[in-house]
Amino acid sequence: MAEMVLTCPYCLSNRITFTFKGQYQWTSNPHTWNTFWVCRKCEEGIVVKLVGPSHSLPSDCPGDPRDAGFDLYGIRPRIQQFRAPANVPDAIARDFEEALDNLRRQKWTSAGMMFRKVLQRATTEMAPEGIEFRNMRLIQRINSLDKHRLITPAMKDWAHKIRLDGNEATHEEDEDFSGDQARLMKEFTELLLIYSFTLPARITASNDPIEPEN
């Protein structure tokens, strides 16, 4: 049976085996095939575009069709590239993207811990003028930002939710940290970053004077 070793765009397993499940030959180009494959780990399906030699069928290959003269021209869906919102400081962006990667890999506890770390670093950048946040507990930072009206009441609630769930991901021993918790942390953290860094940068850019044309 035909099979291929690829990176799964769903569970992100590296070098996982996909099992061949079906094929469709293009009428406009008989050398081109859309082939259907299933990941042996998560059982999600992908479509692989193959172009091969005359009178050859992907289904007839005893292993990887690429070893039988087929060329791989595309995989759908593609592996998503996760990015932090625009204008987020580099160190915070790297942590957020690592949290997203853990989320995609269904490493819920690791994702929760990283989202909390993002909040920790973000509050350092957001500290009110003249106040040093580095030696303050996260709960104190959030309350200080609220007191100085640097975040809205809703954002304060979001931030405390991230803090508490992050604490649970780090310290809870009796219960597993869930995917729903990790995904909710992602939504709250992303909104916080957009409000704190992306929107202010856009407003500043929109207020920049426009150079007159010569």
pLDDT tens figures, 85-97: 999 999 999 999 9
> Looking at residue 194, what DSSP letter applies?
I
Contact (CB, 8 A) for 74 and 148: no
The continuous run of DSSP H or E covering 146 comes out as helix 138-147
CA atoms within 13 A on the CB side of 35: 30
Top-confidence residue, 171 or 13? 13
pLDDT tens figures, 190-202: 999 999 999 989 8
Angle of helix 108-126 versus helix 138-147 axis, rounded to 10:
50
* Distance, C-alpha 24 to centroid of its chain: 32
Q: Is pLDDT above 60 for 11? A: yes
Residues in contact with 171: Cβ distance below 8 Å, sequence separation at least 6, in sequence order? none
Contact (CB, 8 A) for 186 and 100: yes
Q: What is the pLDDT of residue 12?
A: 77
Q: Is pLDDT above 60 for 212? A: no
| CATH 1.20.120.330-classified regions of the chain | 90-201
Contact (CB, 8 A) for 115 and 189: yes
pLDDT tens figures, 112-169: 999 999 999 999 999 988 898 988 999 999 999 999 999 999 999 989 999 998 888 8
CATH of domain 90-201: 1.20.120.330
Mean pLDDT (the chain) is: 89
